[in-house]
Structure 1
């Protein structure tokens, strides 16, 4: 499909729409207000099908008359982390909770897809705003995987306008309890906190040290509480959570076996392994990666390929065998902070880039 001057941005105004959805506080499980805003905006478009599925996702089919099997899915999450913050709109920026993660990317993908309303494409074009990405359920993504069969997918996440995310690390949450006899602090061997730290250090040492951070197994102690009531008394019971991040070379199944076996070597340690998801990495020769490479260059950008140490719904789609990348405006270093802000010019640039991606994929018969 050739790029034409009449390619519309849509009658909707992207910056105003983004400001409206950032104004609405939507922690995980409370996304319906943003879903309603998406529905009300999409209803202005003729020939587009829109529904809210049983999980609460908003699913928009741009060209429902297409009857073939190929499908390009653009999706991003409507929920944010907890912590309400007032939204602000200036001449150049929009700030507030979720502006970067991931309402800016969501708005970008929505408006890019709406530009193809009423146009013929050699594939089904679908946009979805999903629920509960910021918590372990990933309820919205699982529902999409259950109800749709996309050939390729684009996950709206902050990457800056000239970067496409091709990989995310995997994750295991290790939660557990340590029990010792407790007693006087002069006997450190009976301190449950010490036992947790010893187990943590042994777990980290279980995996090889590598210079490339994306290829390394890393872990953080994200929770540690104890029953100690005195500065000179050992804790008898401690509860802990380790957040373990895995590279593509270490599968969750392998890491789970190693961590479980190690825990048995520490008296009084009992663990539970939760939220197990493998790392993902999309091939640079994938049609969707090539389409972004070409699109960025068409828009005067030099493309960069990013592998992130976090995880996202993209992991689930790659795990299902669907070539997926993540893209969207915003600096991911601002994720989950009180400094989230999007440059309005980046919002518009990212829309143009993704429009070019859709056109490039429409011209390609290699997927």
Structure 2
């Protein structure tokens, strides 16, 4: 890889015309007159280090199956030490690669469960959890988040009842999507003790962890650093895909802290990651930190800007800014648009949000807005939402 760092460019300066040329799902799966603000992709220039790494791969004609995972695992460990003071370097077999977090979750669930088993979720929660469980014949056992209007809080009493009822797997979204909530250590530690007492496994989807805002009052606590109990019961999944906007490059990292905690996962899973994802991940985790700091700062500002935009254009919409990532959970119930306000915003305003009901219990009357974009495009999204009324 070149030792000369490419020049830094503003990450969110892509125009609407440039975005319309993208073939990604966010932009290509909507009609040309619709402004997409739905699926979790950012409208952002690629980190220069990642672009340079991919150019090296092209120059080498290196497009075979993904190779040995060591460079990726070393790079992730370095990033984790820098970001969270956590050293996930462990004995062989405790870290492994997947094609993405969804692949990791479903592979682990397939090995741990049987059709009909319950899996504990905390809705309103990442909408893909539900089809993942459905595809495996598993039942979501919902323990809704408390105090959603105030930003969210884990219902520990409800979690205890769910585990006491026989559930043996918790699928935890940390930080929480779509609330942008960063769990305090004490709540995670209490959940770990509950899981240990009931011989349950916690699968922690920590994909949004690198995007905790600089001013967040809560620092992200990796599940495997929470406590001895958390290490005994936990499997954590990470990926550069959200923080560095590389979902199409297909790579995730799975980590455990106890010998033998990994379930028996089929060997072909080792062939699923992308070699370009490996190039990108090493570059992101090693040389993308300054770029990521720029992005995190801008996303924090964007949440504040959204508060003002809603007050001006949609004062009836309630929004409690999260402290992680770029997804805004909007309470649209006072607009009188029914269970799925996103449908009205799309039909009348030609702006696409994610429908609240897809996020499980508590999602009716809500919509999720993606604000990982330029101030201009976020403003246009809110303006279109207001025009639909």
What's the TM-score, normalizing by structure 2? Answer: 0.26
In terms of fraction of residues, the more strand-rich structure is 1
In terms of fraction of residues, the more helix-rich structure is 2
Larger Rg: 1
